[in-house]
Structure 1
Amino acid sequence: MTPRPEAFFLPVGPDGDQRFCLFHRAHGPAPRGRVVYVHPFAEEMNKSRRMAALQSRALAAAGFSVLQIDLLGCGDSSGDFGDASWAAWVADVRLASRWLRERDAAHAAAPPWLWGLRAGCLLAVEATDGLDEPVNFCFWQPATSGKQLLQQFLRMRVAAEMMSGAGKGLMEDLRQQLATGTALEIAGYRLAPRLAEGLERAQLLPPPASPDGRLVWLELSTQAEPRFSPVAEQAQARWRDAGWQLDARLIKGPAFWQTTEIEEAPALLSATTSALQTRVEQPA
């Protein structure tokens, strides 16, 4: 029987702020690694909850300890989405990484992983500046540019206003409102200027690699002959050139973070578990 994850609230600072977390304890005595999951942006988080839960359980069954954290203003954590800033989210990822290292002493020497989905990959990379240990990365459908994600999010507001008969220049008007400190209501989310500013600046640039630094890059496709986009290939080349050991794979499956109904991608689950285990399984 698969053990249930431990649900708890992680204190943040002296003001009573808390982050909701799920801790999946690793099965078996042999430590394989520690994994912190960094969820994507806005509604993509909710669409991805099932896949994140399934993958966390699969990794725990394979011997990894896994921590899922709801960032500030997301899920069951303190605050509203409109209270969030990019810097606060980065700090939450660092907090989760340190907690897992201290909490799971049996795995303290095992390889640590930051596993991100979409915007979560950008947060994971930025969070490494300030951690006191090297990490490996697992990227699910990584966003290479926060600016592009912000543009896509703003387009949702533009589309809604055009449906109501608004004219041209809407995108410029929204950006002007953010620049002057005005928060925007978009698809049920209140986007604060400081969150938008941090997201727009974020890029998927490689941090300095440790001698054994690993990056697992997994993307989903429904095409008959899938290929990475030129942007993804350029980003992967930058990571290789920076000394990272790259394992890049295209997996058959739906874009579950944006589908109307909750979808699963079983091939992605097995590919992720296999990729993270690869180094551990090799003989000494």
Structure 2
Amino acid sequence: MSDGYFLATDRGHLYLARFGELAGRHVWLYLPPFAEEMNLSRAIVARQARAFVESGEAVVCLDYLGSGDSELELDQTDLDCWLDNIRAAVIWLQQQGAASVGVWGLRFGALMATTYLEQRGTNGYQPIDRLLLWKPVLDAKTMMGQFFRMRQVADSIKGLPKVNWQERVKQGETVEVAGYPVSTNWLRSISELRMRDQIGLHMPQTIWLEAASDKISPAVDKVAQLWPEAGLTLQYCEGSAFWQNPDCYDSPALIQQTLDSCQELREDVCVQ
């Protein structure tokens, strides 16, 4: 069972896609990656969500304001807005009778998940009791540099002169990249995020899956070592980088490994 719901907030309507019945179940709140990675990953995220439903859990996928099917444009939002979006969704899940809530983030969504827990996750509403990270972005500044290169490549193909569009945004100009209007305020607030700065002492039990990888890189291992003791399961899973591949619609190994890891985590949480 899946459907969509528009949640009213002070800034606009958030779109939530629901997979499975929420009341009395553990619910995963899914936080998407940024820009086109969000669109390219939807098919596999939906497959994973249905697999969670078959295992007795539920999933709600969030589109931040200014993205996906939610209201506003990107340049009308910023980091605080998106953190408030997550909080609104968590409160809504509590109102729907969810027995417990976990956060599942892909790429930039994984970085947003840890940022939310570090900055907003202990304010009196339903706590997050587990965390699932798929191929996290470690540094948003690096991510945005890669994003702006798409505009430079597009300009080059058209024979236009080379422009430092990221610097233009920093100076106050709103620049469109791949159809997304990037404002100074949005860029400044997002670019400051680094995974190593968003790991608090009270992180819930966490599964970190390095998707589309045949090993754990030194950069990932260095960040993982900052996790609270015994709070992190770090694994890798080979396969396609589906968030960049428009022809990839399934990732059975990743889906099964996620289910197996989450089953072990669920058993550990229940024991505690």
Q: Judge same fold: TM > 0.5, yes or no.
A: yes
> Alignment length, in residue pairs?
263
**CA–CA distance in structure 2, aligned partners of residues 178 and 243 of structure 1:** 40
**CA–CA distance in structure 1, aligned partners of residues 201 and 31 of structure 2:** 20
* 2:169 aligned partner: 178
Q: 1:88 to 1:54 in 2, by over 3 A?
A: same
**CA–CA distance in structure 1, aligned partners of residues 128 and 18 of structure 2:** 21
1:189 shift after superposition: 1.5
Q: 1:262 to 1:82 in 2, by over 3 A?
A: farther
Give the alignment of 1:145-224 within 5 angstroms: 145-167=139-161, 170=163, 173-204=164-195, 205-209=198-202, 213-221=204-212
**CA–CA distance in structure 2, aligned partners of residues 30 and 87 of structure 1:** 30
1:10 shift after superposition: 0.5
The range that moved more, 34-43 or 182-191, is 182-191
* 1:61 aligned partner: 54
* 2:13 aligned partner: 18
Whether 1:78 and 2:71 are equivalent positions in the alignment is yes
Structure 2, unmatched stretches of 5+, are none
- Per the alignment, in what secondary structure is the counterpart of residue 69 of structure 1? strand
- Tell whether the 8 Å contact from 1:65 to 1:104 is kept in structure 2 after alignment: no
- Per the alignment, in what secondary structure is the counterpart of residue 227 of structure 1? coil
* 2:3 aligned partner: 6
* 1:265 aligned partner: 251
**CA–CA distance in structure 2, aligned partners of residues 163 and 6 of structure 1:** 41
Give the alignment of 1:113-152 within 5 angstroms: 113-128=102-117, 129-131=119-121, 132=124, 133-152=127-146
Percent identity (aligned): 27
- Tell whether the 8 Å contact from 2:211 to 2:236 is kept in structure 1 after alignment: yes
Give CA deviations for 1:227-268 in whole Å, capped at 9, x if unaligned.
1111111111111xx335211111121000001324321111
- Per the alignment, in what secondary structure is the counterpart of residue 202 of structure 1? coil
**CA–CA distance in structure 1, aligned partners of residues 50 and 94 of structure 2:** 19
Give CA deviations for 1:195-250 in whole Å, capped at 9, x if unaligned.
2112210111312225xx2111112236xxx21111111111111xx335211111
- Per the alignment, in what secondary structure is the counterpart of residue 92 of structure 2? helix
* 1:231 aligned partner: 219
**CA–CA distance in structure 2, aligned partners of residues 188 and 166 of structure 1:** 18
- Tell whether the 8 Å contact from 1:30 to 1:63 is kept in structure 2 after alignment: no
Correspondence for 2:239 among 240, 246, 253: 253
- Per the alignment, in what secondary structure is the counterpart of residue 4 of structure 2? strand
Give CA deviations for 1:137-188 in whole Å, capped at 9, x if unaligned.
11101001101100100111122223334455x3xx3233112221111112
Let me know the Cα RMSD of the aligned residues. Answer: 2.2
**CA–CA distance in structure 1, aligned partners of residues 186 and 244 of structure 2:** 21
**CA–CA distance in structure 2, aligned partners of residues 221 and 75 of structure 1:** 24
> What amino acid is aligned across from residue 24 of structure 1 in structure 2?
F
1:126 shift after superposition: 1.5
**CA–CA distance in structure 2, aligned partners of residues 215 and 90 of structure 1:** 20
Q: 1:215 to 1:99 in 2, by over 3 A?
A: same
- Tell whether the 8 Å contact from 1:47 to 1:257 is kept in structure 2 after alignment: yes
**CA–CA distance in structure 1, aligned partners of residues 244 and 128 of structure 2:** 32
**CA–CA distance in structure 2, aligned partners of residues 71 and 49 of structure 1:** 14
- Tell whether the 8 Å contact from 1:34 to 1:66 is kept in structure 2 after alignment: yes
**CA–CA distance in structure 2, aligned partners of residues 232 and 265 of structure 1:** 22
Whether 1:36 and 2:29 are equivalent positions in the alignment is yes
Structure 1, unmatched stretches of 5+, are none
- Per the alignment, in what secondary structure is the counterpart of residue 226 of structure 2? helix
- Per the alignment, in what secondary structure is the counterpart of residue 238 of structure 1? coil
- Tell whether the 8 Å contact from 2:24 to 2:97 is kept in structure 1 after alignment: no
